[in-house]
Structure 1
Amino acid sequence: MKRKLLTFLGCALLSGMVQAGGFQVNLQGQKQIGMGHAGTGLALDEASVFFNPGAMSHLRQNGFQLGASGIISKIAYLETAPGNTTAKSDNPTGTPFSAYGVFGKEESSLKFGLGVYTPFGSKVKWGDEWIGRYGLNELELSAIFIQPTVSYKIGDKVGIGAGVVYSRGGVNLQRSIPVQDQDANDGHAELDGSASGWGYNAGIYFKPNDKFSVGLTYRSKVNMEVDEGDATFQVASSLASRFPNTTFTTELPLPANITLGIGFTPTEALTIAADVQRVNWSAYKNLRFEYGAAINGSTFTENARNYEDVYIYRLGAQYKITDAFALRAGGYYDNTPVQDGYLTPETPDANAIGISGGLGYAVSDNFQIDASFLYISKEERTDLSDLSGGIGGTYKTNVNIPGLAVSYKF
Structure 2
Amino acid sequence: MKNKFNRLTLAAAVAAAAFTGQVHAGGYQINEQSVSGQGYGHAGRSSNVNDATIVFGNPAGMSFLDRAQVSVGGTYLNVNTDIKNAEASRDFGAGPVPIEGSSDGDIVPGTFVPFAFYAHPVNERLAFGFGVYAPFGSKTDYEDGFIGRNLGNYTELTVMSAQPTVSYRFNEQWSIGAGVTYNRVDGELHRQVANPFNPVDPAADLDARIEGDDEGWGYNLGVMFQPVPETTLGLTYRSKVSYTLTGDYRATDPAGLVNAIAPERLERDAKLDLTTPETVSFSVTQQMTDRLKLMAGASWSRWSRFDQIRVVDPNNGEEITEEPQSYSNAWAYSLGGEYQLNPQLALRAGITLDFTPTQDAKRSARIPSDDRRIFSIGAGWSPTEDLTLDFAYSYLTERGTQVDYDRLDHEALPVPTVTSAYSADYKNEAHGFGAQLTYRF
TM-score w.r.t. the length of structure 2 is 0.84
Structure 1 residue matching 2:131: 3-state secondary structure:
strand
Q: Write out aligned runs for 1:269-308 (5 A).
A: 269-291=291-313, 298-308=318-328
| 3-state SS in 2 of match to 1:170 | strand
2:14–2:137 Cα contact (<8 Å) kept: no
Shift of 1:405: 0.7
2:71 aligns with 65
In structure 1, the residue corresponding to 2:36 is in which secondary structure?
A: helix
The aligned counterpart of 1:29 is 34
CA 1:401–1:183: 2 relative to 1, 3 Å: closer
Give the deviation of 1:386 after TM superposition: 3.3
1:231 is the counterpart of 2:249: yes
In structure 1, C-alpha distance between the alignment counterparts of 2:405 and 2:314, rounded to whole Å: 32
Q: In structure 1, the residue corresponding to 2:111 is in which secondary structure? A: coil
The separation in 1 between residues aligned to 2:106 and 2:167, in whole angstroms, is 44
The one-letter amino acid paired with 1:146 is A
Shift of residue 171, structure 1, vs aligned partner? 0.6
Q: In the TM superposition, what is the alpha-carbon distance from 1:13 to its structure 2 partner?
A: 8.0
Q: Does 1:370 align with 2:399?
A: no
Q: What stretches of structure 2 of length at least 5 have no aligned partner?
A: 19-26, 88-97, 409-419
Structure-1 separation of matches of 2:299 and 2:125: 28
Between the aligned partners of 2:405 and 2:107, the Cα distance in structure 1 is: 25
- Cα gap change, 1:174/1:230 in structure 2, threshold over 3 Å: closer, same or farther? same
- Whether the 8 Å contact between 2:350 and 2:377 is mirrored in structure 1 is yes
Residue in structure 1 matched with residue 24 of structure 2 by the alignment: none
Distance in 1 (alpha carbons) for counterparts of 2:320 and 2:338: 52
Q: Which residue of 1 aligns with 2:229?
A: 210
Aligned twin of 2:114: 97
Structure 2 residue 365 is the aligned partner of structure 1 residue 345: yes
Q: Which amino acid aligns with 2:308?
A: N
Pairwise CA distance, 1:73: 1.1
Whole-angstrom CA distance in 1 between matches of 2:8 and 2:338: 43
Q: Which residue of 2 aligns with 1:267?
A: 289
Does 1:220 find its partner at 2:225? no
Q: Give the conservation status (yes or no) of the 8 Å contact 1:164–1:201.
A: yes
After TM superposition, the structure 1 stretch with the greater mean CA deviation from structure 2, 193-202 or 384-393, is: 384-393
SS in 2 for 1:108: coil
* Secondary structure class of the residue paired with 2:13: helix
One-letter amino acid matched to 2:108:
N
Instruction: Verify the 8 A CA contact 1:293 1:299 in the aligned structure 2.
Output: no
State the Cα distance separating 1:222 from its structure 2 match: 0.8
Match of residue 211, structure 2, among 192, 199, 206? 192
% identity of equivalent residues? 29
Between the aligned partners of 2:47 and 2:202, the Cα distance in structure 1 is 61
Q: Tell me the alpha carbon deviations over residues 334-379 of structure 1, each in whole angstroms, 9 at most, x when there is no partner.
A: 0010011111111111000001111111121111111111111111
Runs of 4+ in 1 over 6 A off after TM superposition: 8-13, 82-85, 387-390
Measured against aligned partners, the alpha-carbon deviations of 1:300-342 in whole angstroms (never above 9, x if no partner) come to 3333211000110011111111111111110100001001111
Task: Output the amino acid matched with 1:392.
Answer: S
Displacement after TM superposition at 1:292 (Å): 5.0
More divergent stretch after superposition (141-150 vs 177-186): 177-186
Query: How far off its partner does 1:91 sit?
Result: 2.5
- Residues in 1 aligned to 2:147 and 2:357: alpha-carbon distance in whole angstroms: 25
Residue correspondence of structure 1 range 38-49 to structure 2 within 5 A? 38=43, 39-49=45-55
Stretches of structure 1 that go unaligned for 5 or more consecutive residues are: 1-7
CA-CA distance at 1:242 after TM superposition: 6.1
Work out the CA distance in 1 between the residues paired with 2:194 and 2:116: 44
Cα distance change on mapping 1:80 and 1:135 into 2, 3 Å: closer
How big is the shift at 1:255? 1.0
Alignment-derived partner of residue 13 in structure 2: 16
Shift of 1:396: 1.2
- Asked which structure has the greater RCO (Cα within 8 Å, sep 6+), the reply is 2
Distance change (3 Å), C-alpha of 1:243 and 1:10:
farther
Contact 1:27 1:37 in 2 (8 A): no
**Match of 2:237, SS?**
strand
Structure 2 residue identity aligned to 1:358: G
Match of residue 338 from structure 2: 318
TM superposition score normalised by structure 1:
0.90
Distance apart, 1:75 and its partner CA: 2.0
Q: What is the SS of the residue equivalent to 1:56?
A: helix
Task: State how far apart, in whole Å, the 2-side matches of 1:46 and 1:366 are.
Answer: 13
Residues 90-119 of structure 1 show CA distances to partners (whole Å, capped at 9, x for unaligned) of 4322221111000133x4310001111101
Q: 1:253 to 1:9 in 2, by over 3 A?
A: closer
Distance 1:211 1:92 in 2: 43
Q: Deviations over 1:271-323 (max 9, x none)?
A: 211101001111112342122578xx954333321100011001111111111
Query: Among residues 125, 129, 146, which one is paired with 1:113 in the alignment?
Result: 129
Kept in 2, the 8 Å contact 1:161–1:204? The answer is: yes
Whether the aligned pair in 2 keeps the contact of 1:263 and 1:271 (CA below 8 Å) is yes
**Partners of 1:18 and 1:252 within 8 A in 2:** no
Question: Is the counterpart of residue 135 in structure 1 residue 157 in structure 2?
Answer: no
Aligned to 2:90: none
